[in-house]
Amino acid sequence: MSEQEFLIRVRGLKNQFGDQVIHENLDLDVRRGEILGVVGGSGTGKSVLMRSIIGLQTPAAGTIEVFGENTIGREETEATEIRKKWGVLFQGGALFSTLTVAENVQVPLKEFYPKLKPALLDEIAGYKVVMTGLPANAGPKYPSELSGGMKKRAGLARALALDPQLLFLDEPTAGLDPIGAAAFDDLTASLQKTLGLTVFLITHDLDTLHAICDRVAVLADKKVIAVGTIDELLALDHPWIQEYFNGPRGRAATDAQDRIAARDHDRDAGNDPASLQAQRR
């Protein structure tokens, strides 16, 4: 039953471009229903790892199983059953520039379910667009008319078009303002909860890691050096991990998380500042 427990199993993965080895003997498991954050310095091959898993990059060695099926060396036309079950959000959104946002969302639907009626297709595209936090009038817009953050949301709407079980997000909050990034985190978490999603999340955003990730995988020295909750990782004595989570930004994110937790706790206890003031009046 291991394939039920682990949606993604990577074993002994090796990737190299020319002489440059990106991954060597990399192992990684992603459990069903978790949000796994993947972190690592620039150039450690986070995106390459994702591309290997979704079959855009053929590794030099190793095995990759997604939903219990090998994805290496498959032709693009093969493995459509697996492709139906995942959605991918690329860094820049990767929207099709000749289609409107709503049409972009419909592309996977039309591809995999050609029998859907146009009216229902339009409705599905509609609620997906609104669900990802875009205004309704963004539907008929072309990608070139959208801001960076809106492109990401539109990309997410397309990634979610098929109600996938597995979602790959490549730096979803990079380039978003803090409010937008927090909203994106909330969105990811609530979608994960309602749809039972498994999320493979590449990020540099420490707030995102603290807020929504169940486990974090750290990429360094050409492999995954550690996987675990942030607390577990903090207990490790690896210089990069310590620097990452205990550096000035890491601490700020931890503090912010503590403050949020404290505020929520206060509010639950009925004594948050706003209600206290109200009582005084």
Partner 1 sequence: MSASADFSHDRADGGGVLRFTGNLSLAHVGDLPERLGEVDGPVSRIDLSQVDRIDTVGAWVVHRFARDRDVAIDGLNPDSQHLFDQVAAADDPVVRKEKSLSPPLRVLEEIGDAVSGSARQMLGLLGFMGATVLAFINVLRHPRRFRFNATVQRFEVVGVSALGIIGLMSFLIGMVIAQQGAVQLRQFGAEVFTINLIGRLTFRELGVLMTAIMVAGRSGSAFAAQLGTMKLTEEIDAMRTIGVSPMEALVLPRVIAAIVMMLLLGFYASIIAIIGGGLLSWAQLGIPPITFVTRIREVVPITDLYIGLIKAPVFGAIIGMAGCFHGMQVESDAEQVGSRTTAAVVQAIFLVIVLDAFFAIFFAWIGWI
Binding site for partner 1 (CB under 8 A): 84, 97-98, 100, 102-103, 106, 109, 113, 117, 120, 122-131, 136-140, 142-145, 160, 162-163, 190-191, 193-196
Work out the angle between the directed axes of helices 239-246 and 248-268 (0-180°, nearest 10): 50
Question: Measured from the CB atom, is 172 or 250 closer to partner 1?
Answer: 172
Return d(Cα 278, Cα 42) in angstroms, integer.
49
Return d(Cα 52, Cα 6) in angstroms, integer.
17
Q: How far is the CB of 108 from partner 1 (least distance, A)?
A: 10
Question: Measured from the CB atom, is 20 or 144 closer to partner 1?
Answer: 144
Could you identify the residue written with the tokens 């909050």? 173
Task: Report whether 161 contacts 189 (CB < 8 A).
Answer: no
Question: Measured from the CB atom, is 5 or 123 closer to partner 1?
Answer: 123
Q: Judge residue 9's burial from the number of C-beta atoms within 10 Å of its C-beta, 0-12 exposed, 13-18 middle, 19 or more buried.
A: buried
Q: How far is the CB of 135 from partner 1 (least distance, A)?
A: 8
Tell me 247's DSSP state. Answer: S
Question: Measured from the CB atom, is 196 or 247 closer to partner 1?
Answer: 196
Kindly calculate the radius of gyration of the chain based on its CA atoms and give it in whole angstroms: 20
Q: How far is the CB of 139 from partner 1 (least distance, A)?
A: 4
Question: Measured from the CB atom, is 17 or 127 closer to partner 1?
Answer: 127
Q: How far is the CB of 220 from partner 1 (least distance, A)?
A: 30
Return d(Cα 86, Cα 79) in angstroms, integer.
11
221 to each of 40, 43, 47, 230, how far by Cα in Å? 10, 11, 15, 19
Tell me 55's DSSP state. Answer: T
Q: How far is the CB of 195 from partner 1 (least distance, A)?
A: 6
Question: Measured from the CB atom, is 83 or 223 closer to partner 1?
Answer: 83
Q: How far is the CB of 277 from partner 1 (least distance, A)?
A: 30
